[in-house]
Amino acid sequence: MGFHRRIINSEVTKHNLEKDSLENLYSSESLIFMDDMSSKVFELFKEGKTNQEIKTIIYEDNQSN
């Protein structure tokens, strides 16, 4: 049996966030995050934040940097 893993970077994260498909993106046995932004989005998703809430938080973080 194969081991299903997914490599996630900010480009993939942004695409799936805009398409409201984070659940699909994170439906893998192993997730490998390539940057802090993608990791933060996943943590917010696990906390139960909506896509809109995640977008707002990420936008605010980008504005403060």
Reported as a single tens digit per residue, the pLDDT across 23-49 is 999 999 999 999 999 999 999 999 999
pLDDT > 90: what percent of the chain? 83
Alpha helices per DSSP H over 6-50: 10-18, 22-25, 36-46
- 56 pLDDT higher than 80: yes
Question: How far is it, in rounded angstroms, from Cα 32 to Cα 61?
Answer: 22
Q: Which residues does residue 32 pair with via DSSP β-bridges, in sequence order?
A: 7
> What are the residues facing 31 on neighbouring strands?
6
| Dihedral angle over CA of 65, 14, 31, 41, nearest 10 | 50
Model pTM score = 0.88
Instruction: Give the pLDDT confidence score for residue 3 in this predicted structure.
Output: 77
